[in-house]
Structure 1
Amino acid sequence: MYMIENSILGFFAVSGFALVISLLVAAGLYLLFSYGLYRLAERTRVDHSWLAFIPYVQYYPLGKILREIRICGFVIPHMEWVLLAAPLVYSLLALIPFINVIASIAYFIFYAIVTYSLFNKYSRYALVMTIVSFILPFFFPIFVFTIRNNTLIKK
């Protein structure tokens, strides 16, 4: 009986340690992304650039940095509002059977384009950074942090 209790305690100790490490890594990545976005917003003179530190609301400065996106000749203006509305619209569409699959694909493609557009404005390696960010998502905040001081390449 004593060995079983020790195994259970050991399991919880290892699990707790892994949880703490995971939370520290997640917090570090969040801070990298928020600070990188904040610096990009400051450098592009976005009002209320401090919003980059507030989850979900950080889409507003991201949209202000992007301004507009061109997709197949179609221009999406006011990206700050589109980026704020997109998760809400997706959440509603995800509740409808069959449409949820189409909405998921469209949402994924939309955010791939947004990610590429951000990286394309500040890096010559936008395609590589976008692909790596979608294969290994923890690289996205690292990339945003690394481009924070880059000069604007494309408007």
Structure 2
Amino acid sequence: MKKIIFKTDLDITLNEEWLKEWVRTRKLILKNLGFKVEDVVVKPSSKRGHHFWWHCMSEKELSDMEIVKVQFLLGDCIGRTLVNIKRVKRGYPMSRGNKLFSLVLWRKDPNEMKENFNKLLDELKEGKKLTKKERRFIVRYASNLQKIVEKYSELMKEGQEILKGG
């Protein structure tokens, strides 16, 4: 038998009762798929949810795409699943690409940025002249929003194609 570790990211924080039920039902899924669960490690994920490491034994060797599929069936985050599918299709091995990120080194407060953007936008509407720094901030913020919308649309399209078998 071969040891395999499936990794999943759940982007919601569950209370203790729900967490126990979540783990129990995932173990049933793994058993139904022919895996023997030896251990489950659960860690908090940046105050947004949970990361899971499912230590299993398998009768057969799994391809990288099969690993991604099992992790998806275990409830892995759809965004992470789509990223892993892209990695596998590009030939990037899951042994190096199957990451869970727990540590956020630095992040701007999105609410503060949104408030600044809205304030400056209102001032623009009122005809106020903005400083060069304020104009740069608006352009960067709007450009980032545009990139996010484009990336989200692209991921949703790819996700639909993948789920259709494309």
Does the TM-score normalized on the shorter chain lie above 0.5? no
Greater helix share, 1 or 2?
1
Q: Work out which of the two has the higher radius of gyration on C-alpha atoms and give 1 or 2.
A: 2
Greater strand share, 1 or 2?
2
TM-score category, normalised to shorter length: under 0.3
Give the alignment's TM-score, normalised by structure 2: 0.26
Give the alignment's TM-score, normalised by structure 1: 0.28
